Amino acid sequence: MKDLHALLVVVLISAFVAGISGCSLVAKLRGPKPDTARELFRAGTAAMQEEDYAEAVEHFTAIKERYPFSEYTTKAELKLADAYFQDERLESAEQAYKEFETLHPGSKEIPYVLFQIGLCNYKQFRSIDLPMRNLGEALQYFNRLEQSYPESPLVTKAREYRTRTRRLMAKHELFVADFYLRRGDYQAAWKRYRYVQERYPDLQAISKYARSQGRLAYFKYQEAQAERERAAQEGDWKQWFRWL
């Protein structure tokens, strides 16, 4: 029994020592913890390549906080935004890109930054029945890119996303118009359908649907108006009969 106990103690000690040795070996393989701006930037870039975006964010943030005047800081600020974006932390990415634009308005990376801000907003879209604030902002940035940097190779992509964005916004307007029509608010529905026709004439299928539904809504609106006028007139006649 004593021999078994002694053997168990030896095994546990061996496992503990092996664990410590293993940790030391891993630490040696990984090398020293990055400390300088250059080391942090290289480590952050390596983490991005390995798709370890949380670690990348940690390294690029460290450069911003500890080395604000380093030659690597500006690149780290943009890489930080990219790391957030790749990690699908879209709100954080959007703010980081906007901060980069504010701090470096003359940077050659601004066309890319504008496109990414638009893309962050576009990707935050969730459902047709929700407010379209993000889509509206996405449209603004895609337009800004084309207007301010027409020679940028990103303009083609921006146009594609602008069309997608406008289609989603138009569908949202149709959703609202259809809702008004179903609840019997024909005037509001008709005006909303007309707005879609005027705002999105290039989206042919959507514009055609809006025209068709708009006619229906207008007809029902006129019909409801006539019914109200008839009811009002009948009410006046009944008032006269009461006095007789």
User: Does 38 map to a domain?
Assistant: yes
Q: What is the pLDDT of residue 234?
A: 59
Q: What is the pLDDT of residue 4?
A: 44
Q: What is the pLDDT of residue 227?
A: 74
User: Does 4 map to a domain?
Assistant: no
User: Does 75 map to a domain?
Assistant: yes
Q: What is the pLDDT of residue 233?
A: 64
Q: What is the pLDDT of residue 31?
A: 55
User: Over the range 162-200, which residues count as b (16 or more CB within 10 Å of their CB) and which as e?
Assistant: beebbbbbbbbbbebbbebbeeebbebbbbbbbbbbebb
Rounded Cα distance, 175 and 208, in Å? 15
User: Does 57 map to a domain?
Assistant: yes
Instruction: Report the number of distinct structural domains present in the chain.
Output: 1
Q: What is the pLDDT of residue 244?
A: 47
User: Does 70 map to a domain?
Assistant: yes
User: Does 43 map to a domain?
Assistant: yes
User: Does 157 map to a domain?
Assistant: no
Q: What is the pLDDT of residue 64?
A: 95
Q: What is the pLDDT of residue 131?
A: 85
Domain membership of residue 83 as a residue range: 34-93
Q: What is the pLDDT of residue 34?
A: 79
Given a cut of 70, the residues of the chain with pLDDT beneath it are 1-32, 229-244
pTM score, whole prediction: 0.79
